[in-house]
Amino acid sequence: MSDFTLTEEMLADGRILDLAVSSFLEDKTKEKLAKALIILRSSKVWIPCKISMSDRDQAKMDAVVNRATNNMGNSGNVQFENKDEIRYVPELITNGDGYFMPIFSNEKYMEKYGAGVVKLNRSILDVIDVAQKNKVDLKGLVLNPFNESFIITKEIWPTILKIEPIIKE
């Protein structure tokens, strides 16, 4: 159990997680790793994703977009209703040795992805679940890959899953 109390509001902007990770990266002790993982366990992180839909829905959406583009002067609303499942597919990155799922402690760190991704805010438990189900055998997760990177290998996921949350869910 932890010797500190945090609220969901305190964790929301990712600063406390960033401080814990930074502290661990400066001095890689078991105590600082444990603290970073405890905070990560109760934090929500951002995941960059692409949208995946069936060929049938993609064709329908393309037709709607084309109609809307051709009728730019028309003030009517354009709507698209999917018939099949729409999935969010997490982005993956590689370091040459394998694939990792990037996650971010706050939304602003995702700016490098631009507007071409959907940004999902999820608990680390949800992220690990998605990562385990990924078709690609991931080496792990990378927290803030464009800043002060913190690699969370898949070997440590079971430990994270066992950590009691600081904030009761």
Note the pLDDT of residue 1: 43
What is the average pLDDT value for the chain, to the nearest integer? 87
Instruction: Tell which residue, 41, 25, 44, 48, has the closest CA to residue 111.
Output: 48
What confidence tens digit (pLDDT) does each residue in 66-111 have?
777 776 655 566 677 778 787 888 899 998 889 999 999 999 898 8
Residue 39 has pLDDT above 60, yes or no: yes
Domain ranges for the chain: 8-52+88-162
**Confidence at residue 2, expressed as pLDDT on a 0 to 100 scale:** 47
CA 38 to chain centre: 18
Asked if pLDDT for residue 18 goes beyond 60, the answer is yes
Q: Is the pTM of this model over 0.95?
A: no
How high is the pLDDT of residue 70? 74
Across the range 157-161, mean pLDDT stands at 96
**Residue 153: CB atoms within 10 Å:** 13
pLDDT at 144: 95
pLDDT at 137: 92
Measured distance CA(89)–CA(118) in Å, rounded: 9
Share of the chain above pLDDT 90, in %: 53
Percent of the chain that is helix, strand, coil (3-state, to 5): 45, 20, 35
Per-residue confidence band for 38, with pLDDT thresholds at 50, 70 and 90: very high
Helices (H), 12-155: 15-26, 30-42, 55-70, 124-133
Give the pLDDT score at 168: 57
CB within 8 Å of 166: residues ≥ 6 apart: 2, 4, 5, 6, 38, 39, 41, 42
Q: What is the pLDDT of residues 41-69, one digit of tens each?
A: 999 999 999 888 888 877 877 787 777 77
User: Which of 163, 38, 151 has the alpha carbon at shortest distance from 101?
Assistant: 151
